[in-house]
Structure 1
Amino acid sequence: MKALFLAGGLGTRLRPLTENLPKPMALVGNRPWLEHLLLHYKEQGVSEFVIAVKYYREMIESHLGDGSKYGVRIDYAVEKELLGTAGAIKNAEPLLSDRFIVVNADIIHQVDLASALKFHENHGGAVTICLTEVEDPSHYGVVEQDGDGRIFRFVEKPKKEEAPSNRINAGIYIMERRALDHVPAGQPVSIEKETFPLLIENGSGVYGHPIGGYWMDMGTKARYRQLHWDLLDRRFPLPIDGQDGEEKGIWLGENVRVGQGVLFVPPVMIGNDVTIGDRSVIGPYSVIGNGSRIGSGVRMTQSILWDRCKIRSGAQLNECIFGSGMQVGPHILHEAVCNRILEVQRQ
């Protein structure tokens, strides 16, 4: 069985960070999320992948390649124009198996795939939609199910007190190839708004299975920060590169050079080949990307730096997110989100 990752969109909601890269390639814990995703599904027993791409195909393919360095196989399904979720799946159909998994690649999650597959095999329908439970479903499309898990309607953004459940679409599907018979080829189609309602109506069998575990749509800068705080607090048990320091909650990569009088206030994650100048205070809740240079006397709290950032001496950063290659300082910045030297957005 193959897994199809939908990675064709531009990821506009994380701009400016994802202005020049697809959102699934945003760094999570100093590694592109798409790479984490690949490794997670490999651990779940998947060895063949298809990645649906439109924009920045070269960036994704240059990083992941054909999958051989991860011990898997990767094929690429290229969209000439954006085809929507169902259209992208239909476009990839020649590369898919009779039963396959579809994953919206910008959704942060961990799934017990064996449990979902067992549920899917037992109900015999065309589709299993993996579901996650949220406290307030009023911002999402909520599912209504019968006692066997069969979905018979979606309620879009109901009032909290009127929602039929707190279960929403987690963006992960197990599908039989026959479901694609109902998707027209070569045109934009939404699986959520068009295909699933059609399959429910014609009796193909659409079921929902709660996945449990961690789930986060990193589509806003606030949620992107929270994702990292959850990672550092280990509420999101994603593997963290680097060795724990002498004090719990401090992860140091390889070839980290730390100056005199530097104070780490956990939790903190430091990537590889990082230099931190004398008397700097890093943390709490700070992530420093690979190859970054931190000057002396820098104060950095609740901030995330991608790779190759340079923070000049004396800078103070609070609740900031800097894209790769940023150079900053000496400034006092609060809630800044930067992707270029001259581009700063405040929330």
Structure 2
Amino acid sequence: MKALFLAGGLGTRLRPLTEHLPKPMALVGNRPWLEHLLLHYKEQGINEFVIAVKHYSELIESHLGDGSKYGVRIDYSIEKELLGTAGAIKNAEHLLSDRFIVVNADIIHQVNLASALKFHINHGGVATICLTEVEDPSQYGVVEQISNHQITRFIEKPKKEEAPSNRINAGIYIMERRALGFVPSGRSVSIEKETFPLLIENGSGVYGHPIGGYWMDMGTKDRYRQVHWDVLDRRFPVKIDGKEVEGKGIWLGDNVRVGQGVLFIPPVMIGDNVTIGDRAIIGPYVVVGKSSRIGDQARMANSILWDRCKISAGAQLNECIFGSDMEVGPHILHEAVCNRTLEVQR
């Protein structure tokens, strides 16, 4: 079975971080999320992948390549124009197996694929939608199911008190190839608004399976921060590169140079080849990307730096997110989200 990652869109709500970057390539714990995702599904037994790309596809291809360095095979399905979720799947049809899994690649999650696959095989329908439970379903598409877990309808963004359940579409699907016979070619098609309702209506069999575990849509700056805090607190147990210092919640990568009198307030994650100046205070909840330089007496808390950032001596950062190659003077910044242009969004 192959996995198809839908990675064609840009993260409009994560701008300016993803202004020129596919959202699945945003760093999570100093590694592109798409790479984490690939490794997670490899651990689940998948070794053949198709990645549907559109914007800045060369960034994904140059990073992941053909998959050989990860011990998997990767093919790419390139969209000349955005085709929507179902349209992107249809565009990749020639690369897919008779049964395949589809993953919205910007959704942070861990899934027990074996459990979902067993459920899918047993019900015999054309599609299984993996579901996750949320406290407030009013911002999502909610499913209504009958006793055998068959989905009878979707309700888009219902009022909380009117939602038939708190189970929402997790953006992960197991599908049979025959379902694609109901998807038109050559135009944008939404799987949520067009394909699944059609398959429900014609009796093809669309079922829902709760995945449990961790799930987060990182599409906003607040949720993007929360993913990192959950990584640092190990509520989301994705792999952290580097060694933990004496079990204290301080992870240091290779070749980290720490000046005199530096204070780490855990949890903190420091990438490879980072230099931290004398008497800097780092933490709590700080992630510093690879090859970054932190000046003397800089103070950082609740902040995320991507790779190769340069923070001047005396700078104070709180609740900031900086893209790669940022250079910051001796400023006091709070709730800043910046790219290389030092564009600040609050």
For Structure 1 versus Structure 2, the TM-score category normalised by the shorter chain is: over 0.9
How far did 1:246 drift?
Answer: 2.9
Partner in structure 2 of residue 226 of structure 1: 226
Whether the 8 Å CA contact 2:116–2:209 is kept in 1: the answer is: yes
Partner in structure 2 of residue 328 of structure 1: 328
How far did 1:247 drift?
Answer: 5.0
> Does the residue aligned with 1:31 lie in a helix, a strand or coil?
coil
Alignment of 1:24-35 (within 5 A): 24-35=24-35
1:228-283 residue CA offsets vs partner (Å, 9 max, x unmatched)? 00110000011111000135100000000000000000000000000000000000
How far did 1:43 drift?
Answer: 0.1
| Separation (CA, whole Å) in 1 of partners of 2:86 and 2:306 | 33
> Does the residue aligned with 1:103 lie in a helix, a strand or coil?
strand
Q: TM-score, normalised by structure 1?
A: 0.99
Matched, 1:146 2:118: no
Partner in structure 1 of residue 99 of structure 2: 99
| Separation (CA, whole Å) in 1 of partners of 2:341 and 2:63 | 25
Alignment of 1:186-205 (within 5 A): 186-205=186-205
User: Counterpart amino acid of 1:155?
Assistant: I
Whether the 8 Å CA contact 1:258–1:275 is kept in 2: the answer is: yes
Unaligned runs of 5+ in 2: none
User: Counterpart amino acid of 2:242?
Assistant: G
Partner in structure 1 of residue 83 of structure 2: 83
Between 106-115 and 334-343, the greater mean CA deviation after superposition: 334-343
Partner in structure 2 of residue 216 of structure 1: 216
| Separation (CA, whole Å) in 2 of partners of 1:132 and 1:247 | 32
| Separation (CA, whole Å) in 2 of partners of 1:158 and 1:55 | 32
> Does the residue aligned with 2:45 lie in a helix, a strand or coil?
coil
Whether the 8 Å CA contact 1:328–1:341 is kept in 2: the answer is: no
Partner in structure 1 of residue 131 of structure 2: 131
User: Counterpart amino acid of 2:31?
Assistant: R
Partner in structure 2 of residue 338 of structure 1: 338
| Separation (CA, whole Å) in 2 of partners of 1:13 and 1:76 | 25
User: Counterpart amino acid of 1:44?
Assistant: Q
Q: Which runs of 4+ in 1 moved over 6 A?
A: none
| Separation (CA, whole Å) in 2 of partners of 1:186 and 1:259 | 58
| Separation (CA, whole Å) in 1 of partners of 2:244 and 2:342 | 35
Alignment of 1:224-263 (within 5 A): 224-263=224-263
Partner in structure 1 of residue 19 of structure 2: 19
1:211-239 residue CA offsets vs partner (Å, 9 max, x unmatched)? 00000000000000001001100000111
| Separation (CA, whole Å) in 2 of partners of 1:247 and 1:171 | 35
Partner in structure 2 of residue 52 of structure 1: 52
| Separation (CA, whole Å) in 1 of partners of 2:154 and 2:50 | 28
Whether the 8 Å CA contact 2:326–2:342 is kept in 1: the answer is: no
Between 129-138 and 157-166, the greater mean CA deviation after superposition: 157-166
How far did 1:343 drift?
Answer: 1.2
Alignment of 1:164-183 (within 5 A): 164-183=164-183
| Separation (CA, whole Å) in 1 of partners of 2:104 and 2:341 | 31
Percent of residue pairs identical: 84
Whether the 8 Å CA contact 1:129–1:172 is kept in 2: the answer is: yes
Alignment of 1:306-325 (within 5 A): 306-325=306-325
1:291-344 residue CA offsets vs partner (Å, 9 max, x unmatched)? 000000000000000000000000000000000000002000000000023311
What root-mean-square deviation, in Å, do the aligned CA atoms of Structure 1 and Structure 2 show?
0.6
Whether the 8 Å CA contact 2:277–2:294 is kept in 1: the answer is: yes
| Separation (CA, whole Å) in 1 of partners of 2:59 and 2:305 | 20
